[in-house]
Protein backbone atom coordinates (compact mmCIF):
# COMPACT_ATOMS: atom_id res chain seq x y z
CA UNK A 1 0.00 0.00 0.00
CA UNK A 2 1.40 3.39 -1.00
CA UNK A 3 1.91 6.17 1.54
CA UNK A 4 -0.54 8.33 -0.39
CA UNK A 5 -3.30 5.73 -0.12
CA UNK A 6 -2.47 5.07 3.55
CA UNK A 7 -2.73 8.77 4.39
CA UNK A 8 -5.97 9.04 2.43
CA UNK A 9 -7.49 6.13 4.33
CA UNK A 10 -6.31 7.61 7.62
CA UNK A 11 -7.88 10.93 6.72
CA UNK A 12 -11.19 9.25 5.85
CA UNK A 13 -11.11 7.29 9.10
CA UNK A 14 -10.48 10.41 11.14
CA UNK A 15 -13.25 12.29 9.33
CA UNK A 16 -15.70 9.44 10.03
CA UNK A 17 -14.57 9.40 13.66
CA UNK A 18 -15.14 13.13 13.99
CA UNK A 19 -18.59 12.88 12.40
CA UNK A 20 -19.52 9.95 14.65
CA UNK A 21 -18.22 11.74 17.75
CA UNK A 22 -20.31 14.83 16.99
CA UNK A 23 -23.48 12.96 16.05
CA UNK A 24 -23.43 10.73 19.14
CA UNK A 25 -22.49 13.45 21.62
CA UNK A 26 -25.23 13.66 24.21
CA UNK A 27 -26.32 16.97 25.66
CA UNK A 28 -27.92 17.33 29.10
CA UNK A 29 -31.36 18.89 28.63
CA UNK A 30 -32.33 18.85 32.31
CA UNK A 31 -33.20 22.31 33.65
CA UNK A 32 -33.14 21.42 37.36
CA UNK A 33 -31.86 24.12 39.73
CA UNK A 34 -29.21 23.49 42.40
CA UNK A 35 -29.95 26.39 44.74
CA UNK A 36 -28.90 25.64 48.32
CA UNK A 37 -26.89 22.59 47.26
CA UNK A 38 -23.16 22.02 47.72
CA UNK A 39 -21.01 20.50 45.01
CA UNK A 40 -17.33 19.51 44.95
CA UNK A 41 -15.57 19.11 41.61
CA UNK A 42 -11.98 17.87 41.64
CA UNK A 43 -9.69 19.09 38.88
CA UNK A 44 -12.09 21.97 38.19
CA UNK A 45 -9.46 24.45 37.08
CA UNK A 46 -9.46 23.15 33.50
CA UNK A 47 -11.20 20.99 30.92
CA UNK A 48 -14.41 19.12 31.57
CA UNK A 49 -14.18 19.70 35.32
CA UNK A 50 -14.21 23.44 34.78
CA UNK A 51 -17.19 23.22 32.40
CA UNK A 52 -19.13 20.96 34.78
CA UNK A 53 -18.44 23.39 37.63
CA UNK A 54 -19.61 26.28 35.44
CA UNK A 55 -22.91 24.55 34.64
CA UNK A 56 -23.60 23.64 38.27
CA UNK A 57 -22.77 27.18 39.40
CA UNK A 58 -25.18 28.52 36.77
CA UNK A 59 -27.87 26.40 38.40
CA UNK A 60 -27.27 28.16 41.72
CA UNK A 61 -25.10 25.60 43.53
CA UNK A 62 -22.33 26.43 46.00
CA UNK A 63 -19.41 24.99 44.04
CA UNK A 64 -16.09 24.03 45.59
CA UNK A 65 -13.26 23.83 43.07
CA UNK A 66 -10.89 21.20 44.47
CA UNK A 67 -7.57 21.90 42.71
CA UNK A 68 -3.83 21.51 43.05
CA UNK A 69 -2.82 24.46 40.87
CA UNK A 70 -4.23 27.45 42.76
CA UNK A 71 -3.17 30.00 40.15
CA UNK A 72 -5.23 28.20 37.48
CA UNK A 73 -8.01 27.71 40.01
CA UNK A 74 -8.16 31.47 40.64
CA UNK A 75 -8.55 32.10 36.93
CA UNK A 76 -11.20 29.38 36.66
CA UNK A 77 -13.19 30.79 39.59
CA UNK A 78 -13.11 34.32 38.19
CA UNK A 79 -14.25 33.01 34.80
CA UNK A 80 -17.08 30.92 36.28
CA UNK A 81 -18.32 33.73 38.51
CA UNK A 82 -18.26 36.19 35.62
CA UNK A 83 -20.10 33.88 33.23
CA UNK A 84 -22.75 32.64 35.70
CA UNK A 85 -23.27 35.58 38.05
CA UNK A 86 -22.94 33.19 40.98
CA UNK A 87 -20.34 34.44 43.49
CA UNK A 88 -20.63 31.30 45.62
CA UNK A 89 -17.70 29.55 43.91
CA UNK A 90 -14.85 28.62 46.26
CA UNK A 91 -11.37 27.20 45.91
CA UNK A 92 -10.00 24.52 48.19
CA UNK A 93 -6.48 23.18 47.72
CA UNK A 94 -5.99 19.46 47.26
CA UNK A 95 -3.14 17.49 45.71
CA UNK A 96 -4.19 13.93 44.92
CA UNK A 97 -0.50 12.96 44.81
CA UNK A 98 -0.37 13.53 48.57
CA UNK A 99 -2.64 11.50 50.85
CA UNK A 100 -1.92 14.01 53.61
CA UNK A 101 -3.24 16.78 51.34
CA UNK A 102 -6.39 14.74 50.64
CA UNK A 103 -6.95 14.22 54.35
CA UNK A 104 -6.43 17.93 55.06
CA UNK A 105 -8.85 18.88 52.28
CA UNK A 106 -11.57 16.56 53.57
CA UNK A 107 -11.09 17.75 57.14
CA UNK A 108 -11.59 21.31 55.92
CA UNK A 109 -14.77 20.36 54.05
CA UNK A 110 -16.19 18.63 57.11
CA UNK A 111 -15.50 21.75 59.18
CA UNK A 112 -17.02 24.23 56.71
CA UNK A 113 -19.92 22.33 55.16
CA UNK A 114 -22.99 20.78 56.77
CA UNK A 115 -24.05 19.04 53.55
CA UNK A 116 -22.60 17.66 50.33
CA UNK A 117 -25.04 17.05 47.51
CA UNK A 118 -22.70 16.09 44.68
CA UNK A 119 -19.10 14.87 44.67
CA UNK A 120 -17.57 14.85 41.19
CA UNK A 121 -14.36 12.83 41.03
CA UNK A 122 -13.11 14.37 37.81
CA UNK A 123 -9.37 14.95 38.29
CA UNK A 124 -7.23 12.58 36.28
CA UNK A 125 -4.01 12.54 34.31
CA UNK A 126 -2.07 10.46 31.82
CA UNK A 127 1.60 10.23 30.97
CA UNK A 128 3.07 10.62 34.46
CA UNK A 129 6.54 9.09 34.90
CA UNK A 130 7.30 5.81 36.63
CA UNK A 131 7.97 7.41 39.99
CA UNK A 132 6.63 6.94 43.50
CA UNK A 133 4.91 9.62 45.55
CA UNK A 134 5.74 10.41 49.17
CA UNK A 135 3.14 7.75 50.02
CA UNK A 136 5.02 5.02 48.15
CA UNK A 137 2.42 4.80 45.38
CA UNK A 138 3.02 5.01 41.63
CA UNK A 139 2.13 8.57 40.62
CA UNK A 140 -0.43 7.74 37.93
CA UNK A 141 -2.28 5.25 40.12
CA UNK A 142 -2.41 7.67 43.03
CA UNK A 143 -3.60 10.59 40.89
CA UNK A 144 -6.31 8.58 39.14
CA UNK A 145 -7.42 6.11 41.79
CA UNK A 146 -5.86 6.05 45.25
CA UNK A 147 -6.27 9.81 45.81
CA UNK A 148 -9.92 9.93 44.66
CA UNK A 149 -10.60 6.70 46.56
CA UNK A 150 -9.40 8.19 49.86
CA UNK A 151 -11.20 11.46 49.22
CA UNK A 152 -14.47 9.61 48.58
CA UNK A 153 -14.09 7.41 51.66
CA UNK A 154 -13.59 10.45 53.89
CA UNK A 155 -16.64 12.27 52.49
CA UNK A 156 -19.11 9.37 52.40
CA UNK A 157 -20.37 10.23 55.89
CA UNK A 158 -21.30 13.78 54.84
CA UNK A 159 -22.91 12.49 51.65
CA UNK A 160 -25.03 10.06 53.68
CA UNK A 161 -26.26 12.94 55.84
CA UNK A 162 -27.43 14.83 52.74
CA UNK A 163 -30.75 13.63 51.24
CA UNK A 164 -30.47 12.60 47.61
CA UNK A 165 -26.71 13.08 47.32
CA UNK A 166 -24.66 11.73 44.44
CA UNK A 167 -21.14 10.59 43.59
CA UNK A 168 -20.07 11.00 39.96
CA UNK A 169 -16.71 9.56 38.89
CA UNK A 170 -15.01 10.13 35.55
CA UNK A 171 -13.59 6.91 34.11
CA UNK A 172 -12.64 6.16 30.51
CA UNK A 173 -13.50 3.84 27.63
CA UNK A 174 -9.89 2.65 27.96
CA UNK A 175 -10.81 0.75 31.14
CA UNK A 176 -11.25 -2.75 29.58
CA UNK A 177 -7.59 -2.75 28.50
CA UNK A 178 -6.38 -2.75 32.10
CA UNK A 179 -6.32 -6.56 32.37
CA UNK A 180 -6.50 -6.05 36.09
CA UNK A 181 -4.07 -7.93 38.32
CA UNK A 182 -4.72 -7.32 42.03
CA UNK A 183 -1.18 -8.43 42.84
CA UNK A 184 0.17 -5.60 40.68
CA UNK A 185 -2.48 -3.05 41.60
CA UNK A 186 0.08 -0.29 42.19
CA UNK A 187 1.72 -1.12 38.83
CA UNK A 188 5.16 -1.36 40.46
CA UNK A 189 6.15 -4.81 39.20
CA UNK A 190 5.95 -4.06 35.50
CA UNK A 191 5.38 -0.41 34.63
CA UNK A 192 3.63 0.50 31.40
CA UNK A 193 2.05 3.94 31.06
CA UNK A 194 -0.84 2.83 28.88
CA UNK A 195 -1.61 -0.19 31.05
CA UNK A 196 -1.44 1.96 34.18
CA UNK A 197 -3.92 4.51 32.80
CA UNK A 198 -6.36 1.78 31.74
CA UNK A 199 -5.88 0.02 35.07
CA UNK A 200 -6.64 3.18 37.05
CA UNK A 201 -9.77 3.86 35.00
CA UNK A 202 -11.01 0.31 35.64
CA UNK A 203 -10.43 0.97 39.35
CA UNK A 204 -12.77 3.98 39.08
CA UNK A 205 -15.52 1.69 37.81
CA UNK A 206 -14.86 -1.00 40.42
CA UNK A 207 -14.96 1.64 43.18
CA UNK A 208 -18.33 2.79 41.85
CA UNK A 209 -19.71 -0.76 41.83
CA UNK A 210 -18.63 -1.42 45.41
CA UNK A 211 -19.96 1.92 46.64
CA UNK A 212 -23.31 1.33 44.96
CA UNK A 213 -23.73 -1.97 46.77
CA UNK A 214 -22.69 -0.63 50.17
CA UNK A 215 -24.75 2.57 49.85
CA UNK A 216 -27.90 0.86 48.66
CA UNK A 217 -30.84 2.09 50.70
CA UNK A 218 -29.06 5.21 51.99
CA UNK A 219 -30.36 7.54 49.29
CA UNK A 220 -26.85 8.13 47.92
CA UNK A 221 -26.34 7.21 44.26
CA UNK A 222 -22.97 6.62 42.64
CA UNK A 223 -22.27 6.34 38.94
CA UNK A 224 -19.30 6.63 36.61
CA UNK A 225 -18.82 7.65 33.02
CA UNK A 226 -16.66 7.96 29.94
CA UNK A 227 -16.81 11.61 28.82
CA UNK A 228 -15.99 10.77 25.23
CA UNK A 229 -12.94 11.72 23.21
CA UNK A 230 -12.44 15.24 24.56
CA UNK A 231 -9.99 18.02 23.76
CA UNK A 232 -8.36 18.55 27.16
CA UNK A 233 -4.80 18.69 28.51
CA UNK A 234 -5.03 15.38 30.36
CA UNK A 235 -1.86 14.14 28.62
CA UNK A 236 0.15 17.31 29.28
CA UNK A 237 2.72 15.25 31.22
CA UNK A 238 3.64 12.97 28.28
CA UNK A 239 7.47 13.22 28.17
CA UNK A 240 7.82 13.06 24.37
CA UNK A 241 7.33 16.49 22.80
CA UNK A 242 6.71 14.93 19.38
CA UNK A 243 4.01 12.63 20.75
CA UNK A 244 2.53 15.48 22.77
CA UNK A 245 2.36 17.66 19.65
CA UNK A 246 0.70 14.86 17.66
CA UNK A 247 -1.88 14.22 20.38
CA UNK A 248 -2.59 17.94 20.72
CA UNK A 249 -3.11 18.38 16.97
CA UNK A 250 -5.30 15.27 16.74
CA UNK A 251 -7.61 16.14 19.61
CA UNK A 252 -7.93 19.70 18.40
CA UNK A 253 -9.25 18.55 15.05
CA UNK A 254 -11.34 15.52 15.87
CA UNK A 255 -12.42 15.46 19.51
CA UNK A 256 -15.22 17.09 21.49
CA UNK A 257 -14.64 20.39 23.23
CA UNK A 258 -14.69 20.48 27.04
CA UNK A 259 -18.26 21.81 27.18
CA UNK A 260 -19.61 18.79 25.31
CA UNK A 261 -17.32 16.45 27.22
CA UNK A 262 -18.86 17.62 30.50
CA UNK A 263 -22.43 16.78 29.52
CA UNK A 264 -22.58 13.29 31.01
CA UNK A 265 -21.10 14.56 34.29
CA UNK A 266 -23.79 17.23 34.42
CA UNK A 267 -26.52 14.74 33.51
CA UNK A 268 -25.59 12.41 36.36
CA UNK A 269 -25.26 15.34 38.78
CA UNK A 270 -28.63 16.98 38.11
CA UNK A 271 -31.04 14.70 36.25
CA UNK A 272 -33.79 12.51 37.68
CA UNK A 273 -31.98 9.48 36.25
CA UNK A 274 -28.88 10.37 38.24
CA UNK A 275 -30.98 10.30 41.42
CA UNK A 276 -32.66 7.00 40.57
CA UNK A 277 -29.92 4.87 39.03
CA UNK A 278 -26.82 3.70 40.89
CA UNK A 279 -23.76 1.56 40.18
CA UNK A 280 -23.87 2.20 36.44
CA UNK A 281 -21.46 3.26 33.70
CA UNK A 282 -22.54 5.93 31.20
CA UNK A 283 -21.29 7.11 27.81
CA UNK A 284 -22.92 10.12 26.11
CA UNK A 285 -25.73 10.11 28.70
CA UNK A 286 -26.54 6.47 27.91
CA UNK A 287 -26.01 3.53 30.24
CA UNK A 288 -23.55 0.93 28.96
CA UNK A 289 -22.03 -2.27 30.30
CA UNK A 290 -18.41 -1.81 31.42
CA UNK A 291 -15.73 -4.31 30.47
CA UNK A 292 -13.07 -5.95 32.60
CA UNK A 293 -15.39 -6.63 35.54
CA UNK A 294 -15.51 -10.06 37.11
CA UNK A 295 -17.26 -11.35 40.26
CA UNK A 296 -15.58 -10.37 43.50
CA UNK A 297 -13.10 -7.99 41.85
CA UNK A 298 -14.73 -4.78 43.10
CA UNK A 299 -14.60 -5.96 46.71
CA UNK A 300 -11.00 -7.11 46.37
CA UNK A 301 -9.91 -3.80 44.82
CA UNK A 302 -11.70 -1.89 47.59
CA UNK A 303 -9.99 -3.93 50.30
CA UNK A 304 -6.55 -3.55 48.70
CA UNK A 305 -7.13 0.19 48.21
CA UNK A 306 -7.89 0.59 51.91
CA UNK A 307 -4.50 -0.98 52.61
CA UNK A 308 -2.61 1.14 50.09
CA UNK A 309 -3.98 4.44 51.47
CA UNK A 310 -3.57 3.18 55.05
CA UNK A 311 -7.19 3.86 55.91
CA UNK A 312 -7.58 4.17 59.68
CA UNK A 313 -10.45 2.44 61.43
CA UNK A 314 -12.28 5.70 62.08
CA UNK A 315 -11.87 6.68 58.39
CA UNK A 316 -13.59 3.56 57.05
CA UNK A 317 -17.04 4.40 55.64
CA UNK A 318 -18.15 0.78 55.90
CA UNK A 319 -17.06 -1.22 58.92
CA UNK A 320 -17.44 -4.87 59.70
- Clarify whether 197 is annotated catalytic: yes
pLDDT at 282: 97
pLDDT digits (tens, 9 = 90+) for 132-191: 999 999 999 999 999 999 999 999 999 999 999 999 999 999 999 987 788 888 888 777
- 50, pLDDT greater than 50: yes
Q: Which residue has the higher pLDDT, 69 or 4?
A: 69
Please state the three-class secondary structure of the chain as a single string.
Answer: CCHHHHHHHHHHHHHHHHHHHHHCCCCCCCCCCCCCCEEEEECCCCHHHHHHHHHHHHCCCEEEEEECCHHHHHHHHHHHHHHHCCCCEEEEECCCCCHHHHHHHHHHHHHHCCCCCEEEECCCCCCCCCCECCCCCEHHHHHHHHHHHHHHHHHHHHHHHCCCCEEEEECCCCHHHHCCCHHHCCCCCCCCHHHHHHHHHHHHHHHHHHHHHHCCCCCCEEEEEECCCECCCCCCCCCCHHHHHHHHHHHHHHCECHHHHCHHHHHHHHCHHHHHCCCCEEECCEEECCCCCCCCHHHHHHHHHHHHCCCCHHHCCCCC
Active-site residue (options: 195, 197, 210, 281): 197
pTM over 0.85: yes
Amino acid sequence: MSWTLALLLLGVALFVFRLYNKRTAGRCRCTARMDGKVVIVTGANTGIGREAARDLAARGARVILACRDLKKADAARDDIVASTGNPNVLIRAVDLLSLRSVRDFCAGVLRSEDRLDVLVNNAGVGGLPNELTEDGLVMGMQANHFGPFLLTCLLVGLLKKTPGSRIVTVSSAAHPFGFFDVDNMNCEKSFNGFYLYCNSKLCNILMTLYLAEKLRGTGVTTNCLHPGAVKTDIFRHVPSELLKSFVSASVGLFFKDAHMGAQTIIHLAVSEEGARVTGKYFVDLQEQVPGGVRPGLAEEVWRRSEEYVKLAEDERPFRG
